[in-house]
Amino acid sequence: MGEDGIVLREPGDVSDPSVTGPLLARAHRRAAYSDHQVPSPDGCLPVVFAGAAAGVLIHELVGHLLEADIIASGGTVLADRLGSYVCKMPLTIVDDPTLSGRWGSFTYDDEGRLASPTPLLVDGVVCGVLTDRTRGPVAGAIYSGHNARRASVQYVPLPRMSNVSMFAGTDRLGDVISDLDNAVYCDELTRGQVDPVTGHFALNMISGRAIRSGRLGEYLGPAILTGDVLEVLSSIRAVCDDSDDIQTLCGKAGQQVLVEMNAPSLFVGALEIRRS
C-alpha cells in the first residue's frame, strides 16, 4: 500500500485476481450470446460506442499518438495539431495516474517523478503529451505529463498511459439511438493498428448490435472498423452523460503494463465497417 492509499502492484502481474477477473468476465459475456450473432454489415455506417468501447477508442486513437517516444519516431497527426481544435464537440480527455485504486495508478513513475494528471485534449483542443526524462517537453504542448513506465526492472521506462478518462457530456444514449435508422452499436472493442503519421487505423469490434429504426436489434459478429483519426474526431456527434470503465493490459515495445480507461458512450457519424 502506498503512502496515499493507492494499491501498488507489480506492473503486468497477470496472476492477480483483480487483473484476471474482469478479463474473464468479458470473455464469458461474449460467449453467452455468440450463438445468436448474425454477420456484421459491410460499408460506411454511423457507430455508437458503449462507454467501455469508447475508452478503448480514445486509448488507441488519442493516447498513443500523444506519447513522446512515438512523436519523436516520426511525428503523429495529433502532435502536428497541438494547440488546435480537432473536434467540433467540447471533448476533454485526461490521463490521471493519481486516481485511487485504478489499474494504471501510481504515486511515482519509474523515473521517480511524482504522479500528476495530464490533460491531452481540452474542449476539443490538443494540448498535452506524455513524456519521460529522455524526451522531455514536446514543442507546442501546454501540458507535459511525466509518465515513464516499465513492465519490470529488466526494461527501459517509456512514456505510457495510465488511467485515461473522457469527460461525460449531456446527451442521453437512448435519445441518440432512437434517432438512428441504420447504424451499429459497438459494445466491445479490442486494439488493432494505428499509423501515427497518416492517422489511418483498423480496430477490432468483437461485440456489437445492429441499430434499426431507433432500437437495438440483433447481435453482430466480429468486424473491423477502419478510418482516419482526425476524421473520426471531427465526426463525433454526441458525447453521452453515462460512463463506464474498462481495464486491460497495454503492450508497447514488448512491455505489458496495466491501464484503465473511463469514457461515456460516444456517437461517431460514420466509420467504414468490414466483417471479419
**pLDDT tens track for 110-151:** 999 999 999 999 999 999 999 999 999 999 999 999 999 999
202-261 pLDDT, tens digit per residue, is 999 999 999 999 999 999 999 999 999 999 999 999 999 999 999 999 999 999 999 999
Residue 26 lies in a domain: no
Whether residue 260 contacts residue 245, with contact meaning beta carbons closer than 8 Å, is answered with: yes
The reported pLDDT for the residue numbered 180 is 98
Residue with more model confidence, 271 or 24? 271
Instruction: Identify which of 214, 176, 180, 219 has the alpha carbon closest to the alpha carbon of residue 54.
Output: 176
The reported pLDDT for the residue numbered 35 is 60
Q: Give the count of domains, the chain.
A: 1
Residue 10 lies in a domain: no
Query: What residue has cell string 476524421?
Result: 231
Residue 22 lies in a domain: no
Q: Compute the mean pLDDT over every residue in the chain, rounded to the nearest whole number.
A: 90
56-112 pLDDT, tens digit per residue, is 999 999 999 999 999 999 999 999 999 999 998 999 999 999 999 999 999 999 999
Q: Which residues contact 119 (CB under 8 A, 6 or more apart)?
A: 92, 93, 94, 127, 128, 142, 143
Residue 25 lies in a domain: no
Find the mean pLDDT for residues 18-46: 71
φ, ψ for residue 195 (rounded to 5)? -90, 110
Highest-scoring range by mean pLDDT, 2-6, 31-35, 119-123? 119-123
Residue 215 lies in a domain: yes
Exposed / middle / buried, residue 17 (Cβ in 10 Å: 0-12, 13-18, 19+): exposed
Q: Is the pLDDT of residue 4 over 50?
A: no
Residue 24 lies in a domain: no
Buried b / exposed e over 53-80, threshold 16 CB at 10 Å, is bbbbbbbbbbbbbbbbbbbbeeebbbbe
Q: Which residues contact 195 (CB under 8 A, 6 or more apart)?
A: 201
Residue 23 lies in a domain: no
* H/E segment holding residue 264: none
127: containing domain:
33-275
Buried b / exposed e over 205-216, threshold 16 CB at 10 Å, is bbbbbbbeeeee
Rounded-to-integer distance, Cα 5 and Cα 34, Å: 40
Rounded-to-integer distance, Cα 264 and Cα 172, Å: 10
The reported pLDDT for the residue numbered 6 is 30
Instruction: Identify which of 241, 230, 255 has the alpha carbon closest to the alpha carbon of residue 121.
Output: 230
Rounded-to-integer distance, Cα 194 and Cα 51, Å: 20
Residue 2 lies in a domain: no
Instruction: Identify which of 194, 209, 244, 192 has the alpha carbon closest to the alpha carbon of residue 47.
Output: 209
Longest dimension (CA), the chain: 54
Number of helices followed by number of strands (H, E) in the chain: 5, 17
Query: Which three cell numbers, joined as nine digits, stand for 161?
Result: 498511459
DSSP letter for 168, please.
Answer: P
Whether residue 243 contacts residue 262, with contact meaning beta carbons closer than 8 Å, is answered with: yes
Look at 34-38, 190-194, 260-264 and tell me which has the smallest mean pLDDT.
Answer: 34-38
Residue with more model confidence, 2 or 204? 204
